[in-house]
Amino acid sequence: MAFFKYLTWDNRHMNLRYIQDEYDGSMKITNVYTEDDASGNMEDINKKYGSRLRDAQRAINANRLGMLLIYSFLVLMPAIVLSVIQSNLLLLGGIIIFTIFVYFIVEAVNQVVINRLLYHMDKELHGSTG
């Protein structure tokens, strides 16, 4: 049930902004909270959460790439070939709708990945200051 906890967690009070170094991929966090909330020392936040943010971003990119490759070769390509051989446009339409559904599932998983990081950041940063 942690999936739904992180998926529906309200993170409106957070405004995570970061810059990724194009050479080594390290993350530099520039903002964590909205203007009405104190962010703390950004250098300490970068030391503590920069690598975790990079790992979360890598997991999100891996999920997207994995979904694209697996779905393309195991579902989409065979369905297109089968629908052309059978002259069945209904099958192709169903696969396109299923593609949209799978895309939203993968993006929900990606949202959980980033919300899990934000949840732990919020819990630790507010827990240490107040």
Write out pLDDT tens, residues 91-110. Answer: 878 888 888 898 899 999 99
Judged against a pLDDT cut of 60, whether residue 7 lies above it is answered with: yes
**Residue 79 phi/psi, 5° resolution?**
-70, -40
Q: What pLDDT is attached to residue 39?
A: 58
Tell me, yes or no, whether 60 lies in a domain: yes
Tell me, yes or no, whether 103 lies in a domain: yes
Tell me, yes or no, whether 24 lies in a domain: no
C-alpha–C-alpha distance, residues 1 and 67, integer Å: 23
Tell me, yes or no, whether 91 lies in a domain: yes
Tell me, yes or no, whether 125 lies in a domain: yes
**Domains in the chain, number:** 1
Q: How far apart are the first and last CA of the chain?
A: 28
- Assessment of whether the complete model's pTM goes beyond 0.85: no
Q: What integer is the mean pLDDT of 60-88?
A: 87
Q: What pLDDT is attached to residue 130?
A: 42
Position of tokens 């909205």? Answer: 34
List the domain range (segments joined by +) for residue 62: 2-10+44-129
